Amino acid sequence: MSMQTFLLNGTSVTVDVNPDVRLLWVIRDMLGVTGPKYGCGINVCKACTSHINGKAFNPCSVRVGDIKPTDEVTTIEGLPATVGKDLHPMQEAWLEFDVAQCGYCQPGQIMAAVAKVKAARAAGHEIGDADFDEIRNVCRCGTYNRIREAITAGAKNM
Amino acid sequence: MGYLMAGTTLVVAADLSLGGSPAAAAIPSLPQIPELYDLEDLQTDAARPTAQLITITMNTDGTASFQLPRAEVGQGITTSTSMIIAEELDLPLDKVHVTLAPARPELLFNQLTGGSNTSVSTFTPIRVAAAIAKGALLDAAAIELGSIVALLTSKAGVVSAPDGSSVTYGELATKAASPTTKKVNVTLKATSKFKVIGTSQGRVDAHDIVTGRKQFAMDLQVPDALPTMVCRPPTLNGSPKSINNEAVVKAMPGVTDIAMVDTGVAVRAQTFGQCIDAIRALDVVWNTGSVEGESDATIKAKLKAAEIPLVVPQVPILAQTVDADFTFMFRSSAALEPNCSIADVRKDKATVWAGLKSPIVAQGHIAEAVGLPVSAVTVNVITGGGSFGHKLFGDAAVESAKISKAMGKPVKLMWHRADEPRQGRVHPMCTSRIRATILAGQVLTFEQRHTSVSTDFTHGLGEMLTSQAAALPGGLGNLGFSESIFLLTQELPYNFGLVTQLLNEVDLSFNTGSMRNIYSPDVACANELVVDQLAKKLGQDPLAFRLAYLKDPRVKAVLQKVADVGGWGRKMPAGTAQGIAVHKEYKGATAVLVEIDCRPETVNRQIPNAVAGPRVTKAVIAVDAGLVINPRGLDAQMMGGVSDGIALALTSSVHLVDGHFLEASWDNYFYTRQWNIPPDFECIVMPSDSQQPGGAGEAGVAASVSATACAYARATGTMPTTFPINHDQLSFTPKPFIPPVPESPTDGLSQTY
């Protein structure tokens, strides 16, 4: 066991855990932050998608020991604070289009969407069909079309 | 008629069997079981006059609360139920709080979520209860405001008198309370006066979902219920014989307990990550499984041998025959939320938290498994992260209770993703043989023989009585159930002369269940492909042929609608085509038009660890679901149905090889992903003058798979006969079976974006 420190949703947290444990379990099982969901544990379903230093990543596939004390980890719970509002524009778009069905994949979908919009802009274009086709997050309820509509709308307010 | 219940605040009730489930009533009688262990309990509870009531409580803060005896798994029933109560009570939607009821054995048949039946069966009883509440509030308000009921108006939770004085529901809640329980009669609001029902509403849990606050079973914090997983056998339904290194694994970081149960070796640890590590380290000696040595080919051969013969039809010698033979492979019904359950089993009582669609049956099985009376077992129903039929069974709930008992501690049990396709419930493999004859432009006969690996219906009708009957030895009870369900759900909607549709099932020891829409996606897909063949033989357009032979005007209307909106018959490039199909079920009708692109440049798109395959580029679905409570929710269910249909036709199956299923990941089991969906999607909700809602949750699947298959046949010029069409090409490298779960990667930081 050893002390692991990082920033979670703007607050510095320290946990006493083996550095080999993947970050998802530190966040969920030890810190009780349950927005990121387990769907596979092998970086495939993307249900745990969160942000590290503003970029999308999957904590199921990162050792907590590989996270630096200065690394900022943001889960869905901390997303609104990144824009200083009660809800991030992408969350508002999700409500506007009533995207969710069971809701299990949705925190990951929203976190992926925000990063994808930023990545498209960094590459010099607005998000579109080709980008949507690259999103790997599984939605077993199959609400993919509403996800696309919401991302398009949410991007306009980002 | 309903009840005013005795209490200090206003509580009203109605009998849930009001306008009850016609399907349940129509199912033929099952064998009587004289010696059921919980029969006494059932009879005692059922004998109480108010036992079967559902209650709405008016709270002093002006909100109304209701415990729905059904499972919300994404289909939107907490939202639609809130709307029904808001409508009848004249209360804003956000002042209605619907939660899920725990297992209530006294509800008998009335706590099964399935068959897209929730709105059909609960619409009237919930309205009755809400209307009684409103009546009691008005009575109390008349006294309070010194007026008479006929002069009062109610709006948004406030009752007003002609003189302008008013009082809120919250203020009336205790005044309207009844000191005794009494029967009252009630008049329901006329459907023409509806202001909430029929309007599009967002989900009541949407805000919680998008902020990450919605809690699923694994998100609950139950004291001392530490993460627990099971090291499972390498072959289907194997069992553990012994553990070679228990002490070594027990000493691993975080591990607190190890226990052998019938399904494998359970590990309890500080985190799920440490459970995974422990499972990978365990050295277990296994007993053989239930299908050792079997493969897709051997199972298919057994199904073919069990097919009920087609009758040689007595038709004129000049009649032409269309013969077709289809195979539908095993499919996993797993949701994104894996099987999971929290259990706290003590000496004298047990408490379980899980997403369950038949909680009464789960409660019975848990009681049996841990040796406690049913009355000592509390089963809390938690909103589920998807079901698709998977949550009809309490597999994880029962397993978690056994583990908790074995360890003597609370456990938070979760299946690994790899466990789901490999050991979890699947939609059974089946074949469908069809022979149709035509003469002089008429279809004379249409025969279908559907043969399936046994579909497990041992959840019965949601209570222990029929559950036990379905579990009779030899599968006799279950086959009776299967055939009843088949007969009650399958309806060929065409005038095709002599029509016979028969089912046979073979019990081959698989873990099966009713996947979303049960038999219909396969049966309808086979039928609609043959319908296209018949049209072709008669030189007719698929749309015109269907319109000519369809019986029901509602089915014709949805078909014509998708043809109009989707532009049926437009010229398409070679390698692309349209497909069109219908389905009639759940007191409604659906039709789907799709366009598919089967050109090599589309099929061969390079997407890592994926099946690109043919792309459905457009989907138009029209649905007549009778009286629609929430059009937006219905639209969502249709969108999901189309996604399911595309997967069933093109990409999603599990492969049985040498006694086990190969799939262990969402990148092995190819459910529809963003690169598979139609960028162009439209759903049309048909206007209806029906007074009754139909089913929504499953209604979109069958016509979607059929239309996709028909479009594929037309685009490629070859009618597919094995589904999904890519099944014969294994598109991934199977993961090892020992250890049964893959290691979590460590390179996540190299894949940020």
pLDDT tens digits, one per residue of B144-202: 999 999 999 999 999 999 999 999 999 999 999 988 888 888 899 999 999 999 999 99
pLDDT at B22 over 70: no
Confidence label for B491 from pLDDT (cuts 50, 70 and 90): confident
Contact with chain B for residue A108, Cβ under 8 A:
no
What is the per-residue pLDDT for B50?
53
**Average of per-residue pLDDT across B502-525:** 93
Please report which residue ranges of B75-155 form alpha helices under DSSP H: 77-89, 118-145
pLDDT at B476 over 60: no
The top-scoring range by mean pLDDT among A7-21, B436-450, B684-698 is A7-21
**Average of per-residue pLDDT across A21-45:** 98
Residue to test with chain A: of B93, B207, B211, most A Cβ within 10 A: B211
C-alpha closest to that of B707 among B537, B543, B585: B543
Q: Does the distance separating the beta carbons of A80 and B748 come in below 8 Å? A: no
- Shortest Cα–Cα distance, B284 to chain A (Å): 23
Q: Label the pairing between strands B96-100 and B64-68.
A: parallel
Confidence label for B14 from pLDDT (cuts 50, 70 and 90): confident
Residue-wise pLDDT tens digits, A38-95: 999 999 999 999 999 999 999 999 999 999 999 999 999 999 999 999 999 999 999 9
Confidence label for A144 from pLDDT (cuts 50, 70 and 90): very high
Confidence label for B35 from pLDDT (cuts 50, 70 and 90): very low
Structure tokens that stand for B569 in this block: 């018959």
Decide if B60 contacts B12 (C-beta within 8 A): no
Q: Does the distance separating the beta carbons of B665 and A40 come in below 8 Å? A: yes
- Which residue type does B67 have? Q
- Shortest Cα–Cα distance, A34 to chain B (Å): 6
Q: Does the distance separating the beta carbons of B219 and A102 come in below 8 Å? A: no
Task: For residue A117, list chain B residues with Cβ-Cβ distance below 8 A.
Answer: none
Confidence label for B4 from pLDDT (cuts 50, 70 and 90): confident
Tell me which residue in B336, B414, B665 faces A104 most closely, judged by beta carbons. B336
Task: For residue B749, list chain A residues with Cβ-Cβ distance below 8 A.
Answer: 52, 57, 62, 66
Q: H or E stretch including B499?
A: strand B498-506
DSSP symbol at B675:
G
pLDDT at B42 over 70: no
- A144: helix, strand or coil: helix
Decide if B549 contacts B564 (C-beta within 8 A): no
Task: For residue B416, list chain A residues with Cβ-Cβ distance below 8 A.
Answer: 41
Range of the domain at A115: 81-156
Residue to test with chain A: of B72, B77, B209, most A Cβ within 10 A: B209
Q: Verify that A93 and A152 share a domain, yes or no.
A: yes
Q: Does the distance separating the beta carbons of B609 and A18 come in below 8 Å? A: no
What is the per-residue pLDDT for B112?
82
Contact with chain B for residue A39, Cβ under 8 A:
yes
**Average of per-residue pLDDT across B425-452:** 94
Tell me which residue in A61, A75, A136 faces B746 most closely, judged by beta carbons. A61
pLDDT at B461 over 80: no
Alpha-carbon distances of B266 from B229, B401, B406, B431, rounded to whole Å: 6, 12, 9, 37
pLDDT at B267 over 90: yes
What is the per-residue pLDDT for B20?
40
- More confident: B242 or B487: B242
**Average of per-residue pLDDT across A9-22:** 97
- Which residue type does B133 have? A
Q: Verify that A149 and A106 share a domain, yes or no.
A: yes
Structure tokens that stand for B394 in this block: 């309490």
Contact with chain B for residue A50, Cβ under 8 A:
no
Structure tokens that stand for B279 in this block: 């499972």
Q: Verify that A118 and A72 share a domain, yes or no.
A: no
Q: Does the distance separating the beta carbons of B414 and A38 come in below 8 Å? A: yes
Which of A48, A77, A106 is the last residue in one of the domains? A77
Return mean pLDDT, chain B. Answer: 91
pLDDT at B46 over 50: no
Confidence label for B465 from pLDDT (cuts 50, 70 and 90): low
Tell me which residue in B227, B632, B673 faces A136 most closely, judged by beta carbons. B673
Q: Does the distance separating the beta carbons of B416 and A41 come in below 8 Å? A: yes
Spatial neighbors of A69 by CB under 8 A, at least 6 apart, are A5, A6, A7, A12
Task: For residue A142, list chain B residues with Cβ-Cβ distance below 8 A.
Answer: 639-644, 672, 677
Q: Does the distance separating the beta carbons of A61 and B744 come in below 8 Å? A: yes
pLDDT at B654 over 80: yes
Spatial neighbors of B192 by CB under 8 A, at least 6 apart, are none
Residue-wise pLDDT tens digits, B410-427: 999 999 999 999 999 999
pLDDT at B442 over 80: yes
Spatial neighbors of B629 by CB under 8 A, at least 6 apart, are B80, B83, B84, B119, B123, B197, B198, B693
- Cα–Cα distance, A62 to B747 (Å, whole number): 6
Q: Does the distance separating the beta carbons of B274 and A21 come in below 8 Å? A: yes
- Shortest Cα–Cα distance, A26 to chain B (Å): 7
Q: Verify that A20 and A70 share a domain, yes or no.
A: yes
Q: Would you tell me how many other CB atoms lie within 10 Å of the CB of residue A152? A: 18
Task: Count Cβ neighbours within 10 Å for each residue of B418-457 and write b for 16 or more, e otherwise.
Answer: bbbbbbbbbbbbbbbbbbbbbeeeebbbbbbbbbbbbbbb
Q: Verify that A90 and A147 share a domain, yes or no.
A: yes
Task: For residue A80, list chain B residues with Cβ-Cβ distance below 8 A.
Answer: 211
Contact with chain B for residue A141, Cβ under 8 A:
yes
Tokens 């690169």 sit on residue: B675
Q: What is the CATH number of domain B2-29+38-203?
A: 3.30.365.10
What is the per-residue pLDDT for A53?
98
CA angle B503, B509, B512 (to 5 degrees): 65
- Shortest Cα–Cα distance, B287 to chain A (Å): 27
pLDDT at B524 over 80: yes
The total number of structural domains that make up chain A: 2
- Cα–Cα distance, B469 to B309 (Å, whole number): 28
Which of A77, A102, A126 is the last residue in one of the domains? A77
Closest residue on chain A to B213 (Cα):
A35
pLDDT at B477 over 80: no
Residue to test with chain B: of A28, A30, A38, A42, most B Cβ within 10 A: A42
Q: Verify that A73 and A103 share a domain, yes or no.
A: no
What is the per-residue pLDDT for B570?
98
Lowest average pLDDT, out of B15-29, B402-416, B546-560, goes to B15-29
Q: Does the distance separating the beta carbons of B671 and A138 come in below 8 Å? A: yes
Tell me which residue in A29, A133, A143 faces B636 most closely, judged by beta carbons. A143
Q: Which CATH class is domain B217-290+339-414?
A: alpha beta
Tokens 């419930």 sit on residue: B425
Task: For residue A140, list chain B residues with Cβ-Cβ distance below 8 A.
Answer: 334-336, 386, 388, 671
Residue-wise pLDDT tens digits, B125-156: 899 999 999 999 999 999 999 999 999 999 99
pLDDT at B478 over 80: no
C-alpha closest to that of B328 among B536, B596, B115, B524: B524
Which of A37, A52, A77 is the last residue in one of the domains? A77
Tokens 């995974």 sit on residue: B276
Task: For residue B206, list chain A residues with Cβ-Cβ distance below 8 A.
Answer: 94-95, 98, 100
What is the per-residue pLDDT for B32?
27
Q: Does the distance separating the beta carbons of B636 and A102 come in below 8 Å? A: no
Could you give the dihedral angle defined by the CA atoms of residues A79, A82, A83 and A88, in that order, rounded to the nearest 10 degrees? -10
**Average of per-residue pLDDT across B702-719:** 98
Residue to test with chain B: of A53, A61, A90, A101, most B Cβ within 10 A: A101
Say whether pTM exceeds 0.90.
yes
Residue-wise pLDDT tens digits, A108-143: 999 999 999 999 999 999 999 999 999 999 999 999
**Average of per-residue pLDDT across A132-156:** 98
- More confident: B689 or B583: B583
* Alpha carbon of residue B650 to chain centroid: 21
What is the per-residue pLDDT for B39?
35
**Average of per-residue pLDDT across B72-86:** 96
Closest residue on chain B to A58 (Cα):
B748
No. of helices (H) and no. of strands (E), chain A: 5, 5
Q: Does the distance separating the beta carbons of B221 and A32 come in below 8 Å? A: yes
- Cis peptide bond N-terminal to B739, omega within 30: yes
pLDDT at B38 over 70: no
Q: Fold identical between B2-29+38-203 and B217-290+339-414?
A: yes
What is the per-residue pLDDT for B490?
82
Query: Which CATH number goes with the domain that contains A51?
Result: 3.10.20.30
Task: For residue B212, list chain A residues with Cβ-Cβ distance below 8 A.
Answer: 34-36, 75-77, 107
Task: For residue B748, list chain A residues with Cβ-Cβ distance below 8 A.
Answer: 23, 43, 57-62
Residue-wise pLDDT tens digits, A95-108: 999 999 999 999 99
Q: Which CATH class is domain B297-331+425-723?
A: alpha beta
Q: Residue B146, class by beta-carbon neighbours within 10 Å (0-12 exposed, 13-18 middle, 19+ buried)? A: exposed
How many contacts, defined by CB atoms under 8 Å, are there between A and B? Answer: 236
- Cα–Cα distance, B129 to B81 (Å, whole number): 12
Contact with chain B for residue A78, Cβ under 8 A:
no
Q: Verify that A69 and A118 share a domain, yes or no.
A: no
Q: Verify that A92 and A131 share a domain, yes or no.
A: yes
Q: Does the distance separating the beta carbons of B335 and A34 come in below 8 Å? A: no
Task: For residue A104, list chain B residues with Cβ-Cβ distance below 8 A.
Answer: 74, 216, 335-337, 385-386
What is the per-residue pLDDT for B474?
54
- Cα–Cα distance, A139 to B76 (Å, whole number): 16
C-alpha closest to that of B652 among B613, B624, B679: B613
Q: Does the distance separating the beta carbons of B384 and A95 come in below 8 Å? A: no
Q: Verify that A70 and A45 share a domain, yes or no.
A: yes
Domain ranges in chain B are 2-29+38-203, 217-290+339-414, 297-331+425-723
Q: Does the distance separating the beta carbons of B641 and A42 come in below 8 Å? A: no
Q: Does the distance separating the beta carbons of B76 and A43 come in below 8 Å? A: no
